Structure 1
């Protein structure tokens, strides 16, 4: 029964969304209040014969009719929005430009253009414009905090002076401005990353590699290329070489954005700056790396892509039962790392750092960064886990040099 009723009403609902809803949307909340007051006034005048309410009702209706006249007409604009530069660091100056062109065959009367910029809206008064005439407006973009600021789309606004009616038309596509976190330049191969081009030597023994370990008796199936013929001739038995397995350096950074781990917004931003600074240097060094947060992996194919990804991070809730579950879920599809770095706020406990440590093998070097705004830098070791306490971004190069 309900299904048949819904199907019967569907055409009417489609017509409402397509035709009636856009028409009703031009009346502002103040306009609807005026409509309600006018209806009540006229009803009272008809019931009680009060001339005052008759006058009030018709005056309000006249205001609505006059307001509707302001909506008559069509405008043809070509709008270009440009941001220069498209990427800045927190606190840097960023300017925007909006170029409006009359693309129609007729002159346009003065109008208003609104341009959303981040959480705010910039308003511009456009003059009367002849066909093909252009008008340029410049605006400043606030860059006080790390963010992705969207400028646009621009909206031309038609409406009456009382604000009863309003019709908007969108022009141009939105443009993004990336406000990157503050970072600091680090030395190459920072934080004990690979110091040679061949990779790190592990304790695992293999039959073919670079780092020679020892000789052992030949067994069927061994590759004869690794037979040590001189030793075999001397002792009268085939001997083959064994090697210590070397691995290419692979860095995994685990950056938590859970709000409860940070004492303040300042601490949260400092942690992002720490991660971004290390990741930028690792990418410049050409070392393979992955950076993960609760929302997923960062893009790390270039320094710019990594910094762009960091701009989109916001504090999150407790999306995982524990920090260990978070780290396991976000790293289980990644290559086995040779170095793991864990970055979080001052409210993350040492036990939580160590719970992540247990996910990786003994050959994996692990470093924990506890970000606590304003404290003195500190370096310690807890059961093989190197812990660094970072109070300000300038502490980072000194701490990393001490671990090299």
Structure 2
């Protein structure tokens, strides 16, 4: 008996809810552009007030409201004192600066643990003397602060700083900002003077033997045993059959024996190596293991590039740049531990990242101790039988060993220094 009234009420409320939703969407579409326009106008002024300044302003308003409601003179005095403090703080923002700032990093590329120094040169490019000020320079996640003295026109001030390089990363130095504000930190005006500069902290790598390992090095293509009707490597002659391309008829032999003969060729394959370095945390025991995997992948990729073999390196974030060893190492610096890229499995990652690439000669899959044999076999199913597969598992403290599983060559190592010996074993 109660079901019918309930269904009736639901049917009546449904149109009302739909109208409310449409009204909310329409209001948002109208108010959003207005809000963005107001923020463009008022944002620069509002950003001058620091969190402490907003607290002081709120206390001043609260004190004056309490004073007007209850007639407490003490709150009147407190409110006006706080407002005067904000007005006095605004005086420190008056004035213009004319700086020329140069940020230099030497060198621009270092290996994890190497020392990296930076230099900031500040010049008074104006025609009047500048008062002392504070300059802030963001360096990675930290901020370097420099107290600049009063500077005459064309005067230079040099400041040195050190960049931490204990982790693989792309460290951004800059932009430099000159800071004007009061001593209490109520108001703060920052002016940017220089573009940021990138410092690439490359992973540690080891050099492999150029003959290492299942990594095909033939630039002109590897001759296979498969016979084809057109290629570069001549194999033999055979009788002509209808449908053969007449361009490959060997006319001299055909005239001598009185029968059309066509050339046969051995198929040549372009050497193509794909290195897979996943970044998802589920393949590693911890971040240190991930960093070791990145070092292993970068070491293999660097040697392949030096050998002149076609190479592609893929991760969740996208393909690496592999035109040179330097560009490859720069790409490795941008890998973020734990980035899944929206891929549910390693197979989905490799399938998506390699679908536009030519068929590879060798696929090298690198992961941590949590990378299972099933994950590597799932990658193996994506490619044909002519593709060789190498699985590299990094596990901190594990002894180096060489084995195989399901037709895949498996390398296990606990230190980066074990990699050259393992790959010499693969080559033999």
Normalized against structure 2, the TM-score is what? Answer: 0.88
Whether the aligned pair in 1 keeps the contact of 2:253 and 2:261 (CA below 8 Å) is: no
Please report how far the alpha carbon of residue 237 of structure 1 lies from its aligned counterpart in structure 2 after TM superposition: 4.8
Describe the superposition over 1:358-380 as per-residue Cα deviations: whole angstroms up to 9, x where unpaired: 11111111111111121011111
Match of 1:248 in 2: 270
Match of 2:3 in 1: none
Which residue of 176, 187, 202 corresponds with 1:180?
Answer: 202
Q: Distance in 1 between matches of 2:95 and 2:220?
A: 72
Describe the superposition over 1:60-84 as per-residue Cα deviations: whole angstroms up to 9, x where unpaired: 2221111111111111111111111
Match of 2:51 in 1: 29
Return closer, same or farther for 1:281/1:54 CA change in 2, 3 Å cut-off: same
Q: Distance in 1 between matches of 2:36 and 2:286?
A: 48
Please report how far the alpha carbon of residue 102 of structure 1 lies from its aligned counterpart in structure 2 after TM superposition: 1.0
Return closer, same or farther for 1:238/1:25 CA change in 2, 3 Å cut-off: closer
Describe the superposition over 1:71-115 as per-residue Cα deviations: whole angstroms up to 9, x where unpaired: 111111111111110000000000111111111221111011111
Q: Distance in 2 between matches of 1:164 and 1:8?
A: 35
Match of 2:124 in 1: 102
Q: Distance in 2 between matches of 1:297 and 1:180?
A: 17
Describe the superposition over 1:257-296 as per-residue Cα deviations: whole angstroms up to 9, x where unpaired: 1111000111100111111011111111111111111111
Q: Distance in 2 between matches of 1:228 and 1:372?
A: 62
Q: Distance in 2 between matches of 1:75 and 1:124?
A: 16
Q: Distance in 2 between matches of 1:330 and 1:374?
A: 32
Q: Distance in 2 between matches of 1:2 and 1:224?
A: 71
Which residue of 137, 143, 153 corresponds with 2:175?
Answer: 153
Match of 1:274 in 2: 296
Q: Distance in 1 between matches of 2:250 and 2:167?
A: 63
Return closer, same or farther for 1:281/1:195 CA change in 2, 3 Å cut-off: closer
Match of 1:398 in 2: 421
Q: Distance in 1 between matches of 2:398 and 2:199?
A: 33
Unaligned runs of 5+ in 2: 1-22
Residue 389 in 1 paired to residue 412 in 2?
yes
- Of 193-202 and 126-135, deviating more is 193-202
Q: Distance in 2 between matches of 1:394 and 1:129?
A: 53
Please report how far the alpha carbon of residue 335 of structure 1 lies from its aligned counterpart in structure 2 after TM superposition: 1.2
Q: How does 1:318-333 map to 2 (within 5 A)?
A: 319-333=342-356
Q: Secondary structure at the match of 2:366?
A: strand
Which residue of 363, 371, 380 corresponds with 2:394?
Answer: 371
Q: Distance in 1 between matches of 2:219 and 2:287?
A: 40
Match of 1:18 in 2: 40
Match of 2:325 in 1: 303
Q: How does 1:90-239 map to 2 (within 5 A)?
A: 90-194=112-216, 196=218, 198-211=220-233, 213-220=235-242, 221-223=244-246, 227=250, 237-239=259-261
Whether the aligned pair in 1 keeps the contact of 2:218 and 2:271 (CA below 8 Å) is: no
Q: Distance in 1 between matches of 2:341 and 2:177?
A: 39
Q: Distance in 2 between matches of 1:247 and 1:161?
A: 71
Residue 54 in 1 paired to residue 76 in 2?
yes
Whether the aligned pair in 2 keeps the contact of 1:228 and 1:241 (CA below 8 Å) is: no
- Of 118-127 and 212-221, deviating more is 212-221
Q: Secondary structure at the match of 1:164?
A: coil
Q: Distance in 2 between matches of 1:12 and 1:223?
A: 72
Return closer, same or farther for 1:50/1:393 CA change in 2, 3 Å cut-off: same
Match of 1:353 in 2: 376
Please report how far the alpha carbon of residue 47 of structure 1 lies from its aligned counterpart in structure 2 after TM superposition: 3.3
RMSD: 2.4
Whether the aligned pair in 1 keeps the contact of 2:110 and 2:201 (CA below 8 Å) is: yes
Whether the aligned pair in 2 keeps the contact of 1:229 and 1:238 (CA below 8 Å) is: no
Return closer, same or farther for 1:8/1:181 CA change in 2, 3 Å cut-off: closer
Residue 339 in 1 paired to residue 382 in 2?
no
Return closer, same or farther for 1:254/1:218 CA change in 2, 3 Å cut-off: same
Return closer, same or farther for 1:11/1:264 CA change in 2, 3 Å cut-off: closer
Return closer, same or farther for 1:4/1:214 CA change in 2, 3 Å cut-off: closer
Return closer, same or farther for 1:5/1:365 CA change in 2, 3 Å cut-off: closer
Q: Distance in 2 between matches of 1:402 and 1:12?
A: 68
Return closer, same or farther for 1:67/1:337 CA change in 2, 3 Å cut-off: same
Please report how far the alpha carbon of residue 192 of structure 1 lies from its aligned counterpart in structure 2 after TM superposition: 1.8
Describe the superposition over 1:29-55 as per-residue Cα deviations: whole angstroms up to 9, x where unpaired: 111111121222223333333332233
Unaligned runs of 5+ in 1: none
Whether the aligned pair in 1 keeps the contact of 2:400 and 2:413 (CA below 8 Å) is: yes
Q: Secondary structure at the match of 2:416?
A: coil
Q: Distance in 1 between matches of 2:71 and 2:304?
A: 83
